[in-house]
Amino acid sequence: MPEVKLFAGTNTKKLADSIAGNYGQELGAMTLSKFSDGEMSPSFDESVRGCHVFLIQSTNPNADNLLELCLMIDAAKRASAYKVCAVVPYYGYARQDRKDRPRVSIAAKLIANMIMSAGADRIMTCDLHAGQIQGFFDIPLDHLNGSAIFVPYLKSLDLGDNLIFASPDVGGVSRARAYAKHFEVDMVVCDKHRKRANEVASMQVIGEVEGKDVVLVDDLVDTAGTMCKAAEILLDKGANSVRAIATHGVLSGKAYENIENSKLSELVITDTIPIKKESSKIKVMTVAELFAKAIHAVTGNDSISALFV
């Protein structure tokens, strides 16, 4: 079996260190040099010849994180690595997965092309904004699911018959329905209309939530405007409490302020993206063990089905 080596990109070092610890080895040594104008030059400080190399880096903006990952992949291939797997806990630009208006880029496909062109043999990620993005890749893709993290936590809350799941928009219905089906409870939909990105113009609830403890389900939370608006409307409709779960805590703009001032009981996210500051309403759970188990399965040619709830 080829030797397995794990390396971390600049943006994901803390999570990568936890993944390596759960996998049972230390991260490999590498250096990221920069020219005075910011041009990056990553290099491996140890041999990767004939090794199965896993490069861990989320590609959330800024674009440096994506370019650094591509340069790492290229460096590993040119150093004669046996296989190179891009481990991308958060796949950035995934919201641009189609032409929803004239003359725009399908950025999610462009990013897939860049990663493949750099030389990746495999990609491993978690909770893509749209599952169809898997089809943008012509290499194997392991699509892990945050439900493996959130389901045990929700069970520990013991909400009983009052539990109900909600999707903050029509696009997330299948995600919320999967949770509702697992817990054998109902779900509702918050139908929103936007005037522009990150700004909700109007929202209405489809379904009954009176007397229920609502769990909003989404793949990511950015400015948290939608989540906070949904929580307010659900409580106005008679819900006992509203909490939210979202795999990727992008948390940009006034997100922290919005969450602190919202009627959400809590927001539960994972560490696919490092948080910028602490918040009394934000709980962070780790995906390190999930990714470590997936890497074990890939290197051992085992199925990853057991990792799904």
- Chosen domain end from 83, 111, 144: 144
Span 30-45, average pLDDT: 96
- Nearest of 166, 230, 174, 241 to residue 203 by alpha carbon: 230
Residue 150 CB contacts under 8 Å (≥ 6 apart), including other chains = 179, 245, 268, 285
In this structure, the answer to whether residues 34 and 107 fall within a common structural domain is: yes
When pLDDT is cut at 50, 70 and 90, the band that residue 188 belongs to is: very high
34 occurs within a structural domain:
yes
Answer yes or no: is pLDDT of 200 > 60: no
**What's the pLDDT at 216?**
97
**What's the pLDDT at 226?**
87
In this structure, the answer to whether residues 154 and 129 fall within a common structural domain is: no
Q: Is the model more confident about 22 or about 203?
A: 22
- Chosen domain end from 126, 144, 162: 144
In this structure, the answer to whether residues 155 and 252 fall within a common structural domain is: yes
Q: Where are the beta strands (DSSP E) in the chain?
A: 4-8, 30-34, 40-44, 52-56, 83-88, 122-126, 141-144, 163-167, 187-196, 199-206, 213-221, 241-249, 267-270, 282-285
- Domain count for the chain: 2
305 occurs within a structural domain:
no
Answer yes or no: is pLDDT of 199 > 60: no
Per-residue pLDDT tens for 221-249?
999 988 998 999 999 999 999 999 999 99
Answer yes or no: is pLDDT of 194 > 80: no
Catalytic residue among 5, 83, 192, 229: 192
92 occurs within a structural domain:
yes
In this structure, the answer to whether residues 76 and 187 fall within a common structural domain is: no
294 occurs within a structural domain:
no
In this structure, the answer to whether residues 170 and 124 fall within a common structural domain is: no
Instruction: Give the Cα separation of 137 and 197 in Å (integer).
Output: 27
Span 269-287, average pLDDT: 96
71 occurs within a structural domain:
yes
What does DSSP assign to residue 34?
E
- Chosen domain end from 97, 112, 144: 144
Per-residue pLDDT tens for 288-298?
999 999 999 99
**What's the pLDDT at 41?**
96
The mean predicted confidence, pLDDT, of the chain is: 94
Answer yes or no: is pLDDT of 111 > 70: yes
Span 65-94, average pLDDT: 97
In this structure, the answer to whether residues 84 and 116 fall within a common structural domain is: yes
304 occurs within a structural domain:
no
Per-residue pLDDT tens for 117-166?
999 999 999 999 999 999 999 999 999 999 999 999 999 999 988 999 99
In this structure, the answer to whether residues 215 and 259 fall within a common structural domain is: yes
Instruction: Give the Cα separation of 97 and 107 in Å (integer).
Output: 6
Range of the domain at 186: 147-285
**What's the pLDDT at 193?**
63
In this structure, the answer to whether residues 112 and 223 fall within a common structural domain is: no
Annotated active-site residue 192? The verdict is: yes
In this structure, the answer to whether residues 135 and 151 fall within a common structural domain is: no
In this structure, the answer to whether residues 154 and 140 fall within a common structural domain is: no
306 occurs within a structural domain:
no
In this structure, the answer to whether residues 64 and 106 fall within a common structural domain is: yes
Answer yes or no: is pLDDT of 309 > 90: no
In this structure, the answer to whether residues 100 and 13 fall within a common structural domain is: yes
CA dihedral 179, 183, 186, 189 (to 10 degrees): -20
290 occurs within a structural domain:
no
Span 41-67, average pLDDT: 95
CATH number of the structural domain spanning residue 257: 3.40.50.2020
**What's the pLDDT at 195?**
57
Span 252-278, average pLDDT: 96
